[in-house]
Amino acid sequence: MQLTWARRNVHLRHPFNIAREKRGGKVDKQVLLVQIRYHNHVGLGEAAPMVYYQQSLDSAEAALAKAAALLGSDPFALEAIFERLWAAIPDQPATISAIDSALYDLIGKMLNVPIWKLLGLDRSRTPITSFTIGIDDLDVVASKTREAAEYPILKIKVGTPNDAQLVEAVLSEARGKTLRVDANCGWRSDNVLERCKALLKLSPVDLIEQPTPAGDHDGLRAVRAAGMGPLVADESCVGPADVIKCIGFFDGINIKLSKCGGIRRALQMIHTARAANLKVMLGCMVETSVGIAAAAQLAPLADWIDLDGHLLLADDPFEGIGGSNGRLTLNDRPGLGVVER
């Protein structure tokens, strides 16, 4: 198996800001695409490393250089391959996720089946994805909401001193839509109850994501006791070992392939969450259709999906996963089902 990778420049439709990370007006972005070639087939993957999780494009490329020597000659030997990769690059799950996606895509292409089918899933159970409205000036938030008219579920980024105004700006253009909020660690245990109350006065919400920082969970008990929520862990739930730590504080977990290390680890998290009576959300970073398609293969197992990374791009180099009106397509093409435009 031959592993290669390349950076590619893409552009966001709008600048994208969240409570714990301000990128300002930046719309350009580099993505890292990975290929695994085996005989006549090529599997695709995408690494979405995040500085918040101590990874970068540079660290991902260094990890890929190590991983190239560890793949071996049998793409079906997944357990052995990932045992070697986790031993060699344990702190680079975004890179391992890209390799995981490329191997599943490759195997799907070799067997001529889509990954969702290989996993035994029913694509008619794919939930509608939310579409995310990032933090911005209020008039921009309103115009982004107008632009997002086709999407029936919106996720509003909050966790700022003017959350109420942000939510009102969205509501002014989105009456009747299903709303979710994501505070990205922006509140604290000592103000989370009051913040949730204030928000819920404006509108009912479908879920509240990551209200307080990872580890600052005590205040969440009162929020749940007051019947607010459901509360979903994102930054508090990175990999399989974090799932059980969420019991008692959260009602669900947001699994992202780049956080956990790909489809195989995500499946572990989903099964652990179900055993612990936690709900499952699938999320993403800003990624092309390659990264989103990998996560979307698991969508039939999720209660909620937030797989809109490719929809935030103005120039996604790939297609195949759809997304208009919030409907993702798990198509009949083998593997991930994505092709270059």
Residues that bind Mg ion (CB under 5 A): 182, 209, 234
Q: Which is nearer to Mg ion, 99 or 141 (CB)?
A: 141
Q: How far is the CB of 182 from Mg ion (least distance, A)?
A: 4
Q: Name the residue nearer to Mg ion (CB basis): 106 or 258.
A: 258
Task: Find, among 270, 289, 187, 197, the residue nearest to 235 by Cα.
Answer: 187
Which of 317, 305, 312, 339 is closest to 328 using CA atoms?
305
Q: Tokens 């969205």 map to which residue?
A: 170
Cβ 43 to Mg ion shortest distance, Å? 28
How many angstroms separate the CA atoms of 94 and 55, rounded?
8
Under DSSP, is residue 24 helix (H, G, I), strand (E, B) or coil? coil
Shortest distance (Å) from residue 206 CB to Mg ion: 14
Least distance CB 122 / Mg ion (angstroms): 27
The smaller minimum CB distance to Mg ion, of residues 33 and 257, is found at 257
Q: Which is nearer to Mg ion, 163 or 209 (CB)?
A: 209
Residue 128 CA from chain centroid, whole number: 14
Judged by beta carbon, residue 182 or residue 251, the one nearer Mg ion is 182
Q: Reduced to 3 states, what is the DSSP secondary structure of residue 340?
A: strand
Residue 18 CB, nearest approach to Mg ion (Å): 8
DSSP 172-208: TT-TTSEEEEE-TT-S-TTTHHHHHHHHHHH---S-E
Question: Minimum distance from CB of 135 to Mg ion (Å)?
Answer: 12
In this chain, which residue has its C-beta nearest to Mg ion? Answer: 234
CB of 259 to Mg ion, least distance (A): 10
Q: Please say which residue, 234 or 287, places its beta carbon nearer to Mg ion.
A: 234
What is the spatial distance between Cα 218 and Cα 212, in angstroms, rounded to a whole number?
9
**Tokens at residue 255, please?**
């699994």
With respect to Mg ion, which residue has the nearer C-beta, 157 or 264? 157
* Nearest residue (CB) to Mg ion, 234 versus 308: 234
Question: Closest separation between CB of residue 139 and Mg ion, Å?
Answer: 24
Q: How far apart are CA 118 and CA 98, in angstroms?
A: 18
CA count, 13 A, side-chain hemisphere, 48: 22
Q: Are residues 198 and 167 in contact, defined by beta-carbon separation less than 8 angstroms?
A: no
Q: Distance between CA atoms of 41 and 47, rounded to whole angstroms? A: 20
Helical spans, DSSP H, in the chain: 57-67, 78-88, 93-111, 115-118, 138-147, 163-171, 192-202, 220-225, 240-243, 257-260, 263-275, 289-296
